[in-house]
Amino acid sequence: MAETDVALTYEAACERLEAIIARLDSGEAGLRETLELCQEGRRHVEFCAAELEAVGQGLEELRLDELVARLESGRAEAA
């Protein structure tokens, strides 16, 4: 999954996490696969936790022109 992390979304990470847990629960995975799945699963948990954290800071309200101004100032700083 590491190569797809660039385009990873919350729902894709959740889906993959469920698939990993189902695979581990089945008891069919070998030791190496288990360790790799656990490692990958931890990455997805961290990603999902970060996503949830990002929308758990309290609702922020902006008007569209404020957002545009913020984006433009961000671009100017980057430049």
Partner 1 sequence: MPDPTTRPAGIPGSGLTGPWPVGQYAAGLRERLRGLTRVQVFGEVWGFKGGRAKVYFELRDATGALPCSMWRRDWDALGLAALADGAQVVAAGGCDFYPGSRTSSPSFTFDVTDVRIAGEGDLLAQLERLRRTLHAEGLFAPQKELLRPALPRTIGVVCGETGKARDDVLAGLRRRGWGGRVVWAFAPVQDRHAASRITRALQDLAACPEVEVVIVARGGGSLADLFAFCDETLCRTVALLRIPVISSVGHHTDRTLLDDVAAVTASTPTHAAEAAVPVHCADAHAALRAGAVRLERQGRRAIVERARTLARLSRAPAEHVARHRARLHQQLRELRAAARRGVAERERATRGAAAALRRKGDAAALARTRGAVRARAGAAALDRGSSAALERRRRDLERLRLALAAHDPQRTLERGYALVEDAAGEPVTSAAAARAQPALTLRLHDGRLPVRPDPSAPRVP
Q: Which residues contact partner 1 by CB under 8 A?
A: 9-11, 14, 17-18, 20-21, 24-25, 29, 31, 34-35, 38, 41-42, 45, 48-49, 51-52, 54-64, 67-68, 71
Please say which residue, 3 or 75, places its beta carbon nearer to partner 1.
75
Could you say which DSSP state residue 15 is in? H
Cα 29 from Cα 52, distance rounded (Å): 30
CB atoms within 10 A of CB 44: 22
Residue 66 beta carbon to partner 1: minimum distance, rounded to whole angstroms: 8
Contact 48, 17 (CB under 8 A): yes
Residue 71 beta carbon to partner 1: minimum distance, rounded to whole angstroms: 7
